[in-house]
Amino acid sequence: DAGVIQSPRHEVTEMGQEVTLRCKPISGHDYLFWYRQTMMRGLELLIYFNNNVPIDDSGMPEDRFSAKMPNASFSTLKIQPSEPRDSAVYFCASSSGQGNEQYFGPGTRLTVT
């Protein structure tokens, strides 16, 4: 298996623009997680899905952030409009079953200027 796939690996955009980050989980995994990593706050869980349904989005910072999972093999995290403070590395992870090991993707490094 190719593991969790994220695209793009790097994104540089201007403040106010819409940003869409993409994730393909490991085939057969029924949980998908979005995390954000910054120097100031470390790694934070933003939202997670089970069987394509959002279960807990309490970590989503504000309404500018939205996440969808239209099918079992694809999820997006969208920021609209983007702000410089959104600059971070965004990780997607997936797991099989409740509480099992999470496998992380390589991350998307977002820079908002």
Partner 1 sequence: AQSVTQLDSHVSVSEGTPVLLRCNYSSSYSPSLFWYVQHPNKGLQLLLKYTSAATLVKGINGFEAEFKKSETSFHLTKPSAHMSDAAEYFCVVRAGNMLTFGGGTRLMVKP
Asked if 32 contacts 48 with a C-beta cutoff of 8 angstroms, the reply is yes
- Tell me how far, at minimum, the Cβ of 59 lies from partner 1, in Å: 9
Phi, psi at 86, each rounded to 5°: -80, -10
Helix (H, G, I), strand (E, B) or coil at 84: helix
Phi-psi region of 102 (alpha: psi -120 to 50; beta: other; left: phi over 0): beta
Q: How many CA atoms lie within 13 A of 3 on its CB side?
A: 12
- Tell me how far, at minimum, the Cβ of 111 lies from partner 1, in Å: 14
With contacts defined by CB under 8 A, name the span among 21-29, 45-53, 63-71, 76-84 that binds partner 1: 45-53
- Tell me how far, at minimum, the Cβ of 71 lies from partner 1, in Å: 20
Instruction: Check residue 2 for interaction with partner 1 (CB under 8 A).
Output: no
Instruction: Check residue 70 for interaction with partner 1 (CB under 8 A).
Output: no
| Binds partner 1 (CB under 8 A): choice among 19, 29, 91, 112 | 91
| Binds partner 1 (CB under 8 A): choice among 1, 42, 62, 70 | 42
